[in-house]
Chains A and B, each alone.
Chain A
Amino acid sequence: MAEDILALIKENVIQGRVTRDDEGFDEGLVGQAGVSELAKEALAQGVSSQDIIKLGLSEGMDIVGQKFEAKKYYLPDMLASAKAVGAVMEILEPYLTRSNIKPKGKIIMATVKGDFHDIGKNIVSILLRGAGYMVKDLGNDIDPQVIVAAVREEKPQFLGLSALLTSTMLRMKDTIQALTEGGVRDKVKVIIGGVGTSEEFAQSIGADGYGADGFQAVRVVDKLNTSRKD
């Protein structure tokens, strides 16, 4: 019974359907329960929120990631799935606080000083949340010192930096420098992304990782997260 409903949640994450009125990636699904109806039903059946996240949401998003990489899914498909995950996480939130379940890790996200592009950063934040991380999004145009203060205060394991302009890419370097000067560089793994950035660029400014798209960002964080625990 629990397996059935978890499989349905997973399937509807893949389809990107929040409620029963939503269209999915495939035709003919309108009228069938979406993830929010299914998640409530699962909780009523006594399925744990942990199982919903792991076996429903995360496994569903893994498949979405594969489809995206295979070019079967495009940005709107991926965002519909991410929205479905977000809707379930909202339903689960009170249960998660009550049951004292720890997230996989904590991540601070920011678009650097002078840059106001937030679409990419928001997509990465959604996907990281869907993958079970706690994400604090500082927003756009964030001063290095504000980021340093947030790292000190929030003690995240990861910091995600975004920049889309050739003129602001180097602000990521300044931010990493500020972390060093603030004595917190070794407290946090820094992952960067944005048009114009690359693996080589990430290395050249002393970042720990680079994500070419949202799914890659999740994979890089997962990988760093595992090695952190070893």
Chain B
Amino acid sequence: MLVIGEKINASNRSVAEAIARRDREFVASLARAEADAGADFININSGMKNGSQEYEAETMEWLVEVVQGATDKPLAIDSEVASLIEAGLGKYQGERLIINSVTAEPERLASIGSLAAEHHAWLVALAMTNGIPSSVEERLDACEQIMAYLTRLGFTAEQIFFDPLILPIAVDSTQGIITLKTLEQIKSRYPGVKTVLGLSNISYGLPRRGLVNRAFLLMAACAGLDAVILNPLDTKMMSLIKVADMLMGKDASCRGYMRAHQKGILVD
């Protein structure tokens, strides 16, 4: 399972403040901590302040520079605005790259899709047009539109990371199953494509959220999940990812699991 570290996100208040005062060390140490904890990619979301477009672009450039200086891990550039992604790409020197994300909205597909094609990036595609659909069928419709568009742009299946999306189980008790069914369908309809989830939305509004998130990770792994966006400093979750890989037959001779044990990083 590919782990995309989510910590560098301006929707987190302390990160937003560090970005605003251009606190290089704060951001760099966060990136290092994520890398040390086993993140494969470092996600970067620079947010949107009241500022001008130039300011926002400059913020993204600064973040990309600081994080690249702190770790060799590749980046996931996270924005819904094509010009901000472009700003980040301008400063990025790594080879592997994730762009996060597009939806089936034609304008975003056109602008962000072309950027990803041009840079041979992996692209996260959310199974929605406007607003998260509550049914499996509508989410798959969105995937179908995205798939058709990206194929025309020359994408390979392996470049596309579909996010089947999660709505809180506290609001609608069928949403866990809907996400899992969407995930399974995506994997069977589009051989070769990858899937990704931001897990924590499932437990919104519940007590003991970590427990719910971890359980759902295992269920999603079983339904074919390839990558996950989460906090890599969560040692229980990271341990469970090793377990999931092993139990899903992706860890020959249990090497990954045993290595994690030798390093003393497994927590139960």
Contact = CB atoms under 8 A, between A and B. Distances in A.
Contact of A74 (B10, B81, B130, B170): B170
B206 interface: yes
Given A74-B205, A141-B130, A195-B11, A167 B170 contact: no
A119 B166 CA distance: 13
Interface residues of B, number: 19
B42 to A, nearest CB: 19
A208 interface: no
B168 A75 contact: yes
B38 interface: no
Interface residues of A, number: 17
Given A140-B131, A170-B50, A119 B171 contact: yes
A76 B206 CA distance: 7
A92 interface: no
B49 A74 contact: no
Secondary structure of the B side of the interface? Answer: loop
B48 interface: yes
Nearest to A198: B13
**Residue in A75, A118, A196 whose Cβ sees the most chain B Cβ within 10 Å:** A75
Interface in B163-183: 167-168, 170-171
Given A118-B131, A119-B167, A119-B168, A75 B11 contact: no
A166 B170 contact: no
Contacts of A165: 48
A166 B10 contact: yes
A78 to B, nearest CB: 8
Closest 8 CB pairs of A and B: A75-B205, A116-B131, A75-B170, A167-B48, A76-B170, A166-B48, A166-B47, A116-B130
Interface of B: 10-11, 47-50, 80-81, 130-132, 167-168, 170-171, 204-207
Interface of A: 71, 74-76, 79, 116-119, 140-141, 165-167, 170, 195-196
